[in-house]
Amino acid sequence: MRYYLSIEKNTEVFELYKALWQAHGIIGIRADTMAEGIAKAMEIEKSVADELYFIDIVADDIDFLPLLKILDEETDAPILIATSNYTEKEHHQALANGADFYAGYCEESEDNIHGVITVINSIDRRAKKKTRPSKTMVFTNMLISPRQRSVFVGSTKLDLTRREFDLLYYLMQHRGNVLSYRQIYRRVWGLGYEESRHSYLHNHIHNIRDKITQAGGNEACIATEHNTGYTFTP
């Protein structure tokens, strides 16, 4: 089950939002104080079957700052703070002590819910990115992003064909190592490719070097090893 925890004293407002969130398949629970909220958050976090989707603190009637860091330490759920008395000072204090979001109320209840969903989706998206190891490589003024299949020299994106990208990426992965014609053909073109056609590989290397130069890079980063192969030397 998915839950959201609302730390607030206004039971009427809570019941209104609880009904609206239930339409999204999320069950609301309420706490009167930060201490009670921490206890309930810890209970849900320990459950295998339950998920704490987010924590909503209504700052109008809750003294949240003294215990905010502890709440943040005890849960992985996003902590969102809403208030009708927005101040820049409290905004900065909230974020510095563990809140993921701090803002004033919208006039419409549905707008508040849509706003929360947008914030949570953004937090989830960034959290998932952090769990993936980065494969981006940077060499002096060259950057390659395998996920985006993009190579930049400075701020200029190289207009590479699919094969040119695969070839340059393979060389960059093994920077400093001499890759033979045989290794390159097998990795970039496949096992069945006729590797004696070195002119085909030479043409691709020439095109890549030309595009690097036009973008302001140094074509010498791809060095020719005579009668052997190529190496990427950033």
Q: Are residues 72 and 154 in the same domain?
A: no
Q: Region 108-136: what's the mean pLDDT?
A: 67
Last residue of a domain, one of 131, 163, 178: 131
Q: Region 219-229: what's the mean pLDDT?
A: 91
Which range marks the domain in which residue 54 is found? Answer: 2-131
Q: Are residues 100 and 201 in the same domain?
A: no
Q: Are residues 98 and 171 in the same domain?
A: no
What's the CATH number where 190 sits? Answer: 1.10.10.10
pTM above 0.85, yes or no: no
pLDDT tens-digit readout, 147-169: 788 899 888 899 999 999 999 99
Q: Are residues 107 and 11 in the same domain?
A: yes
How far apart are alpha carbons 41 and 55 in whole angstroms?
8
How far apart are alpha carbons 7 and 61 in whole angstroms?
9
Last residue of a domain, one of 80, 108, 131: 131
Q: Are residues 69 and 122 in the same domain?
A: yes
- Residue 118's pLDDT band, with cuts at 50, 70 and 90, is confident
How far apart are alpha carbons 216 and 233 in whole angstroms?
16
Quick one: pLDDT at residue 193?
Answer: 64
Last residue of a domain, one of 72, 102, 131: 131
Q: Are residues 83 and 169 in the same domain?
A: no
Q: Is the pLDDT of residue 190 over 80?
A: no
Q: Are residues 113 and 188 in the same domain?
A: no
Q: Region 33-47: what's the mean pLDDT?
A: 91
pLDDT tens-digit readout, 76-87: 888 999 888 888
- The CB density around residue 107, as the number of other CB atoms within 10 Å, is 6
Q: How many domains does the chain have?
A: 2
What's the CATH number where 38 sits? Answer: 3.40.50.2300
Q: Are residues 7 and 120 in the same domain?
A: yes
Between strands 51-58 and 142-145, the pairing is unpaired
Q: Are residues 89 and 172 in the same domain?
A: no
DSSP letter (8 states) at residue 221: G
How far apart are alpha carbons 159 and 150 in whole angstroms?
9
How far apart are alpha carbons 78 and 72 in whole angstroms?
9
How far apart are alpha carbons 33 and 23 in whole angstroms?
26
Quick one: pLDDT at residue 81?
Answer: 92
Q: Are residues 113 and 157 in the same domain?
A: no
Query: Position of tokens 């993936």?
Result: 132
Average pLDDT value over all residues in the chain: 86
How far apart are alpha carbons 59 and 53 in whole angstroms?
19
